[in-house]
Amino acid sequence: MHLMRMLIAAALALFMIAGPASALVIKQVEPDASWAAADWAVNLVGDHIEVSLQKEFKVPEMVGAPLVLEFTLQDNDLGKDIYLVHAGDGEEVINSTGLAWGDFHFVLVNPPQVPFLPPPAGATFVELSGVSSDLFGAPAAASGSQIDFLGGPVPAGGVVHFSGIRIAHSGGEGAVFYLKEIPTPEPGSFAIVCFGAGVLLFRRARTKGR
């Protein structure tokens, strides 16, 4: 009986520290998971929501293309900022594209107000002075709707973390916003991609000319 009481007390203490799961609903809308994929866990922690987020860009075609997540607010999410974290650090992004990245961009999109569709959440990046990356350092530019990290590089097979990214919102239950994350190639990788595309077009032209 004493052991049971100790286990219950420990479980209650853990619940008070980590908080219950938030009702915030997240869905990957672009692209197919075979090209890029996100894994997440959502928890209420005090007065905010922590989203433990890990993303992997898997194919070369994703360099320059966005991975898009849709966030739908629920009733108990009202007034709570959203923190992007991973294992006690910032959001983790894995580069499995085979190409080095020079830049990385975060973009928030609030959909227009349209009858019979979910309302916009009024999402915005906040506390921008605390945003940083272990590879990029501080962002080159940051606003309520976009954060740009420049210079890298993030090598092929590399991992980069982005810390301090917080999202405030003013929407009610059912309101939505979208988070886009976009890697862009470093100049050397971009040149390789362009050269490969040029060779492919040249071969196609020669084939048609025969």
Phi-psi region at 157: left, alpha or beta (left = phi > 0; alpha = psi -120 to 50): left
- Residue owning tokens 């939505």: 176
Q: Establish if 157 belongs to a structural domain.
A: yes
Q: Establish if 10 belongs to a structural domain.
A: no
Q: Establish if 197 belongs to a structural domain.
A: yes
- pLDDT digits 0-9 by tens, 47-59: 999 999 999 999 9
CA distance 68 to 181: 7
Region of poorest pLDDT, from 36-45, 117-126, 193-202: 193-202
* Claim: this prediction has a pTM higher than 0.75: yes
- In this prediction, residue 13 has a pLDDT band, given cuts at 50, 70 and 90, of very low
Q: Establish if 204 belongs to a structural domain.
A: yes
Q: Establish if 12 belongs to a structural domain.
A: no
Instruction: Give the CA distances from residue 189 to residues 164, 166, 184, 201, in Å, rounded to whole numbers and listed in that order.
Output: 29, 31, 9, 19
The domain in which residue 194 lies consists of 21-209
Q: Supply the pLDDT for residue 23.
A: 77
Q: Establish if 30 belongs to a structural domain.
A: yes
CA-wise closest residue to 24 among 66, 79, 62: 79
More confident residue, 188 or 133: 133
Number of residues that this document lists for the chain: 210
Exposure letters 96-110 (e unless 16+ CB within 10 A, then b): bbebbbbbbbbbbbb
Q: Establish if 5 belongs to a structural domain.
A: no
How many folded domains does the chain comprise? 1
